[in-house]
């Protein structure tokens, strides 16, 4: 049973980094194995090149997949659970994480699988997927203006989509007043490891 955390924030002094640390401790406490892909630390390339676009945009799945994408595929294939940890910027994930989806979700792998092409393996169905994000606005406000729903639609229904068995979006809102919300957030984060363990233990 293995968990892959895809983490996206440029600063180790951020609140989102603190959430990552809380999450890691809760996973350790539950004896769950995990690995972190820190996209900024890895300097992960998230702009799609013209060559990549020629492959993706025209469904030329016979064209080669870059090695850094293949490495992310390898990590995905070894995982039972993926957790995306990021701050919300302009009502979505940061561009770097968006670029991870643009590139890593390559055609023939994450979508448009063609059985006749044996050189590409179809992405496995991951047991549990979680989008764990922090937002400056409180949850109630994001619910009221429809942004919480749109973030859920994009992240859970589209990006995680049918590739995941169980899916969850956790919005840790109100970080503009961190002192007010952090205890509540830490309790929510602490509970994640227990839920993953309970769900995956019966299925792995």
Ligand X SMILES: Cc1cc2nc3c(=O)[nH]c(=O)nc-3n(C[C@H](O)[C@H](O)[C@H](O)COP(=O)(O)O)c2cc1C
Residue ranges that bind ligand X, judged by CB under 6 A: 9, 14-16, 87-91, 134-137, 175
Q: How far is CA 71 from the centre of its chain?
A: 16
CB of 89 to ligand X, least distance (A): 4
Closest to ligand X by CB, 24 vs 73, is: 24
Q: CA-CA distances (angstroms) from residue 131 to 50, 82, 116, 128, 154?
A: 29, 9, 33, 10, 11
Q: Sign (positive/negative) of CA torsion 185, 72, 152, 52?
A: positive
Longest CA span, the chain = 55
CB of 161 to ligand X, least distance (A): 23
Closest to ligand X by CB, 83 vs 123, is: 83
Compute the distance between CA of residue 71 and CA of residue 148 in angstroms, rounded to an integer: 32
Closest to ligand X by CB, 73 vs 96, is: 96
Q: In what order do the strands lie in the sheet with 81-87?
A: 33-38, 2-7, 81-87, 126-134, 164-172
CB of 69 to ligand X, least distance (A): 26
Closest to ligand X by CB, 31 vs 90, is: 90
Task: Record the tokens describing residue 152, joined without a space.
Answer: 């859920």
Torsional class of 35: left (φ above 0), alpha (ψ -120 to 50), beta (otherwise):
beta
Closest to ligand X by CB, 66 vs 136, is: 136
CB of 96 to ligand X, least distance (A): 12
CB of 189 to ligand X, least distance (A): 13
């Amino acid at each position: 049973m293995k968990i892959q955390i895809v983490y996206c924030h440029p600063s180790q002094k951020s609140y989102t980094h603190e959430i990552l640390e809380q999450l890691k401790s809760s996973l350790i406490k539950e004896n769950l194995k995990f690995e972190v892909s820190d996209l900024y630390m890895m300097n992960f390339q998230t702009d799609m090149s013209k060559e990549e676009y020629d492959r993706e945009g025209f469904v030329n799945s016979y064209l080669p997949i870059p090695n850094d994408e293949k490495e992310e595929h390898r990590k995905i294939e070894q995982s039972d659970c993926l957790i995306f940890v990021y701050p919300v910027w302009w009502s979505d994930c940061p561009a770097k994480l968006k670029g991870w989806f643009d590139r890593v979700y390559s055609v023939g792998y994450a979508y448009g699988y063609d059985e006749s092409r044996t050189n590409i393996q179809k992405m496995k169905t991951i047991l549990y997927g979680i989008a764990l994000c922090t937002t400056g606005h409180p949850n109630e406000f994001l619910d009221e203006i429809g942004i919480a729903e749109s973030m859920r639609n994009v992240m859970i229904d589209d990006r995680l989509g049918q590739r995941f068995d169980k899916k969850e979006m956790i919005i840790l809102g109100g970080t503009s007043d961190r002192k007010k919300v952090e205890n509540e957030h830490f309790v929510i984060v602490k509970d994640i490891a227990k839920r993953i363990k309970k769900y995956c233990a019966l299925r792995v």
